[in-house]
Structure 1
Amino acid sequence: MAIRILVHVLLPAFLSFYTCKGQDTSVSPLSPMKKKEQETLYSVIQGFIGKGWNGSDLYPDPCGWTPIQGVSCELYEKYWYVTVLNLGPVFDNSLVCTHDAQFPDEIFKLKHLRILSLTGCFLYPTQNPVRLPISNWENLSNSLESLHLRSNPGLVGTIPSSFGCLRKLQSLALIENGLIGELPSSIGNLVRLRQLVLSGNHFVGEIPLHYMGLFELLIFDASRNNLSGALPSTVGLLDSLLKLDLSNNLLEGELPRELGRLKNLVLLDLSHNKFRGGLTGPLQELVSLQHMVMSHNPIRGDLFGIQWEFFQNMETLDFSDMSLTGSVPESMTKMKRLRYLDLSNNNLSGCLSVSLENMPSLRALHLNGNKFTGKLEFSERFYRKMGRRFTAWDNANDLCYIASSMTAWIQVPYGIVVGGDVGWTVPKDQDFFDDWASRNRFLVNDTLRFEYKTDSVIEVNEEDYNKCKAMRPLFFSNNGDTVFTFDRPGLFFFISGVSGHCGRGQKIVVKVLDSHSPPPQHQNDDQHSGAAVIAPLAKTTSVLLVVSSFFLLLFAA
């Protein structure tokens, strides 16, 4: 009798604990899933991960007590329906797609599907190319809110115009796939869209004017494609934008005046394009900017057309390789939060103000490859603070420095090339960079050289390295030829800044040993008995590192 009472009392409480939040509390996890919905789900999963999966270990169905990782359900009229489908190596126990995965048509029968995310499901564009379906997307028009297709180089074809029927879509991310063709104007019909990311594909043509009606858009990223033409003047209508990234395309022309209307913009990256016409006045109206990257454009002109003191939120400013002329305005030293300033590989001239040293947040200053003259009068404390993040080589021969203050801290411009002939890119073998590093020995003051085209290098801590994330970057560069000097013994962690590359093996950890030998002295130091020496800061020679088998391997979790 006591046992029977406990069953009557505790079982209803136990079942009520598993009910869906916000749903009918009279329905338990034993609520049924219609057979048709279950068969459709199983068919979809088998299309991605293979026929060997049959869900036989799920009780009583995929949304009961033993749910599938990456699959979520909600109750509609007391029946379970699939609302989330997330496949790929996202979680430790996620369902991972098979090498011959397909894009099953049955997916369009999941009428309550709100979120669809496929990561790393189609990896083989030659052996197993899978075409993105061009029809049936209208079947999800009343439900789909988020569509993410990421790191699928074997997913080919064009963006279907029927995407324009997904009227509830708020997030569309097509990242690092094999998609081609022009961007369909029908995406401009998705008026609820808040995130539009199309990076790392092979899209061509111009940015459709119809996209400028996406007034709720917060993020627009079409980087690393082959888009051409001018930046539409109607871009100023996207006044909710927080991030605009159109880097690594073939865009050209002058920057439109209407760009200045994007008052909420936090990140602007237009690097690696063909923009020209100088730094326009509207840029100084973007007072919320924290990161502005304009490098590798034939912009030309000087730095005096902008009142830099207005940028009190600016943290990153990359103006490298822009054919800029003139001197560095004193007003640039008024940006109190600026952490990273890159003016390298321009035609800048004149003397450098010692006020640069007084910028309270500055942690990286790159001035190499210009025509600066005069004497660098920064203090030894400044050079010590900047370390490897200060570069001033390859200027005019009459740019001088005080050797006794700077010799031990100056950045060496060359070093051993990471990855050898392969360079800094996604490796065919995930252990490639670890194997490469194990064949080299590194000491304090040695340098690494990262060579790449459309990529970047980020130094992170060990936690972010293991997670392939850059939540707290220690160093960042995307200039295509990054030199990094080890200023201390210990471990250094580097990852690619391009989404998905780190997870595919583009990361490296380096152990640096303490050097017991004193740093090299200037050739004239013995003649001056420690007195300050004025010497030209010219290009130094590279040092060939002796190959040795000493290294500590760390693997990402």
Structure 2
Amino acid sequence: MKNNMKYTRFVIFCLIIIFLNLCLCKGETKEVSDEAVMEKKEKESLYSAIQGFVGSWWNGSNLYPDPCGWTPIQGVSCDFMNEFWYVTDLNIGPLHENSLSCTQNPEFRPQLFDLKHLKSLTFFNCFTSPHNLITLPTNNWEKLASSLESLEFRSNPSLIGLFPSIFGNLYKLQSLVLFQNGISGTLPTNIGNLVHLKRLVLSENNFSDRVPDTLGNLKELLILDLSRNSLSGSLPISIGYLNSLLKLDLSNNGIMGNIPYEMGNLKNLTLLDFRGNNLSGGLTKSIEEMNSLQELMLSGNSLGGDIANFDWKKLQNLMILDLSNLGLSGVFPKSMLNLKKLRYVGLSNNNLTGYLPLEIANMPCVNAIYVNGNNLKGELKFSNDFYVRLGRRFAAWNNPSLCYTSELMSNGDSPIGVEPCKPEEMLVKTGLKTELSNQNGNMLQEFNRLNEDVISSCGLCRCGIDGVWWVIVVESFMMVVLWNVLL
């Protein structure tokens, strides 16, 4: 009986605790709901700014009466500060499935710059109509300077005009991305004021003129991508002092001159892409010191120089190497055979000579080798398995003195564009014919000397021996010489 009483009291006690918790939770929910409001000006600014981009048909106050609460807008994020909700992230364009798409006539309304707590602002595929070109506003950005950390314009071909120099005043920016737009002009020098930038991507626009020296001020920069523009002039030495840099892409511009020696300071760099420029002066030796490098792409320049003068084994992390169309000379460097992580070797359309080392087949990770368009010679003695594994990713055509050993081919997987070696070619290309010719020449000279000595010792004149006797003497002597050589 007493046990039953204890059990009943325990159950009652538990029910009281649960009831009190429910009451407390309900009270807290009501308290947060009462406090989680949005300033009227903040809400109106948000509605007006979005309406400018998606069209006047969009009525935010009816569709989303509580944009930071129970009726959230796709692409809008808020933070709760000082008893109010404030917009911190705004993404315009079809970034997600339910994102708001832009109208054919979008506009920047001044209310956008009244979102005073905005940290991230992104426009994706919003300004696309070729009949309605939009320029970036040059005013009011300073209103966002105290909060904005990320500003991105991606894939907006109808967004034109100059790079607003006022961007240089957004001192809290950590990410500035202008990718695939129509923005033109020179890069302002005050871009060097953005000392907290981690990422600067200005690729696929119409920027021209020189790369500003002030980029060297961006000591925290991790990614610098200025590819596919019309930049010219020489590379500033200051780029070599961006010690935190991980990726550097300046490909497909008109940059000229030498690769600065200071580039060797970029010890953390994993990607270096200078393809499609007008660089010259050979491979800068300091690149050997960039021991974190995984991708080195320099093709389509006029660098020139001897590829064997570079100590490739220092770049042990290298995976991608593209040195095509550089005017390089010399033989295939054996130091490159020590790169255990190398996957792609692009050496096509240079002036390389000599033989292709058989040890290439032993490189554990290589799955693509392009040496076409050079002056390589000799026999390719790789196994059939090697050609099967690489297939069309082994390119050796347009090397006139190169052939392959057909005896090693079991099922027709021969290197594309390379002829099989013929017996005569095998002698020539392996140097055997030259060696035999030299031996025969020495033999004939020795025979002529000995012949004169023998004839003289017999008291005979050489011209006195003719006809059949002369043939017998010559044949006998040749048999003796050949017998001694073979033995």
TM-score class, shorter-chain normalisation, is 0.7 to 0.9
1:156 alignment partner, one of 137, 148, 160: 160
Q: 1:268 is matched with which residue?
A: 272
Q: Distance in 1 between matches of 2:301 and 2:271?
A: 17
Aligned to 1:326: 330
Stretches of structure 2 lacking an aligned partner (at least 5 in a row): 1-16, 430-487
* Structure 1 position 373 matched with structure 2 position 385: no
Name the larger-Rg structure: 2
Deviation at 1:104, TM superposition (A): 2.2
Residues 301 and 73 (structure 1), Cα distance of their counterparts in 2 relative to 1, 3 Å cut: same
Contact 2:342/2:365 (<8 A) preserved? yes
Letter aligned with residue 138 of structure 1: E
More helix by share: 2
Structure 2 contact 293–317 (Cα < 8 Å) conserved:
yes
CA distance in 2, matches of 1:16, 1:380: 75
Q: Secondary structure at the match of 2:45?
A: helix
> For the Cα contact (< 8 Å) 1:401–1:535, is it kept in 2?
no
Alignment of 1:290 with 2:302, yes or no, is no
Q: Tell me, yes or no, if the aligned pair for 1:204 and 1:227 is still in contact at 8 Å.
A: yes
- 380, 385, 390: which one pairs with 1:386? 390
Choose which of 110, 116, 119 in structure 2 pairs with 1:105. Answer: 110
* Other structure's SS at 1:229 match: coil
CA-CA distance at 1:103 after TM superposition: 2.3
Q: Name the CA distance, whole Å, in 1 between partners of 2:390 and 2:225.
A: 32
User: Are residues 403 and 110 of structure 1, via their aligned partners in 2, closer, same or farther at CA, if it must alter by over 3 Å?
Assistant: same
Aligned to 1:495: none
CA distance in 2, matches of 1:91, 1:228: 37
Cα deviation for residue 378 of structure 1 reads 1.0
Q: CA deviation at 1:349?
A: 1.1
Offset, 1:11: 7.7
Q: Does 1:50 align with 2:55?
A: yes
Partner of 1:13: 25
In the other structure, the counterpart of 1:349 is: 353
Distance 2:420 2:345 in 1: 32
Contact 2:246/2:271, CA 8 A, preserved across alignment: yes
CA contact (8 A) 2:250 2:275 kept: yes
Residues of 2 paired with 1:15 and 1:321: CA distance?
73
- 2:99 matches 1:94: yes
> In structure 1, what is the Cα distance between the partners aligned to 2:75 and 2:292?
37
Q: 1:254 to 1:58 in 2, by over 3 A?
A: same
Matched, 1:144 2:156: no
Are the counterparts in 1 of residues 396 and 416 from structure 2 also a CA contact under 8 Å? no
| C-alpha distance in structure 2 between counterparts of 1:10 and 1:83, whole Å | 33
Q: Percent identity?
A: 49
Contact 1:375 1:399 in 2 (8 A): yes
Match of 2:402 in 1: 399
**Partner SS, residue 371 of structure 1:** coil
- TM-score (structure 1 length as normaliser): 0.70
Q: Find the counterpart in structure 1 of residue 40 from structure 2.
A: 35
Structure 2 vs 1, CA of residues 374 and 121 (structure 1 numbering), >3 Å: closer, same or farther? same
Aligned-partner Cα distance in 2 for 1:388–1:257 = 37
| Per-residue CA distance 1:151-177 (angstroms, 9 max, x = gap) | 001000111111111111000000010
- The answer to which structure, 1 or 2, has the higher relative contact order (CA under 8 A, 6+ apart) is 1
Please give the alpha-carbon distance, in whole angstroms, between the structure 2 residues aligned to 1:205 and 1:311. 33
Structure 2 Cα separation of the partners of residues 299 and 228 of structure 1? 16
CA drift at 1:107: 1.1
Aligned equivalents of 1:289, 1:241: Cα separation in 2: 11
For normalisation by structure 2, the TM-score amounts to: 0.79
Q: Secondary structure at the match of 1:27?
A: helix
Q: Give the match's secondary structure for 2:32.
A: coil
Please point out which of 302, 305, 310 is paired with 1:306.
Answer: 310
Q: Cα 1:40–1:303, aligned 2, differ >3 Å: closer, same or farther?
A: same
Residue of structure 1 in register with 2:365 after alignment:
361
Q: Is the 8 A contact 1:58 1:67 kept in 2?
A: no
CA distance in 1, matches of 2:383, 2:22: 74
- Rounded Cα–Cα distance in structure 2 between residues aligned with 1:27 and 1:78: 9
Secondary structure (helix, strand or coil) at the match of 1:85 reads: strand
SS at match of 2:37: coil
Secondary structure in 2 matching 1:178: strand
Q: Is the 8 A contact 2:274 2:298 kept in 1?
A: yes
RMSD: 2.8
Deviation at 1:272, TM superposition (A): 0.2
